[in-house]
Amino acid sequence: MFVFGQAIGSAQAATTVNVNPVAPSGANAFPFGEGDFWTPYMGFVYRNIQAFDLKTGDTISFDLGVQNDADIKLQISMAATSFNGSDVPGPYTTVVSNTQLPANPRGNAVNGDYELTFTSEAPFHFAGGGLIIRFSNPGSSYATDGTPTGVLSNAASSSDSSGFFLERFYADADGLPPYTTTGLTAIGGFRLQIADLPPAPPAPTPTPKKKKCKKKHKKRSAAAAKKKCKKKRH
């Protein structure tokens, strides 16, 4: 179930975006349970996602229901789709590099805790509607993890009543449509933890400029003019 909220009464409260299946399904190996078969690109395609602004340092989490047998390192990119319900992406933004070791890098066996947590390395503005989260470039030992382990808790079908899941694609050469292989099953949910920006500091008070005393009488001596200026200032 989708939750998008902010603590009341705090302009600096964190925002949590949950895109969860109403009826979570059993585990799947793509892309967190093996590092080779689904490559070079795969992705989850979503619809009806509310707007958000991901910033550097915010987090992106996925839910594993089984622990993997190797640390998971992936490049993760995001793109808005051409319209809500489309699988055609606009420009991608890479938000996680394949050198990053996420929190709980092998996941755990607890369903619903969204423990596999990556930290965003770049901002991403999303205006709402259709979204793609794309995976590529498994890093380090994960690139050679060829043992499929069904780890991902997911939406069993795009017909999940949440209305957020459209499709997935995998084993695609360039990560762009037309996709080599697509499916309507095993679409992973996600969670974003977004910290609000701190309030802007107040604008500095401008320093008033000192007025210069203009000489009105050319014939007056310099000493007399100086004396006249002092009288005006008091």
- pLDDT string in tens for the chain (234-residue length): 434 443 333 334 579 999 999 999 988 999 999 999 999 999 999 999 999 999 999 999 999 999 999 999 999 999 999 999 999 999 999 999 999 999 999 999 999 999 999 999 999 999 999 999 999 999 999 999 999 999 999 999 999 999 999 999 999 999 999 999 999 999 999 999 999 876 667 777 777 666 665 555 555 555 555 555 555 555
For domain 3-194, the CATH class is mainly beta
What's the token pair of residue 173?
């050469």
Please give the Cα distance from 170 to 173 (Å, whole number): 9
| For the chain, domain boundaries | 3-194
Parallel, antiparallel, or unpaired for β 129-136 and 41-49?
A: antiparallel
Distances (CA, A) of 31 to 37, 44, 78, 90: 9, 10, 15, 22
| 3-class DSSP assignment, residue 1 | coil
pTM of the model: 0.81
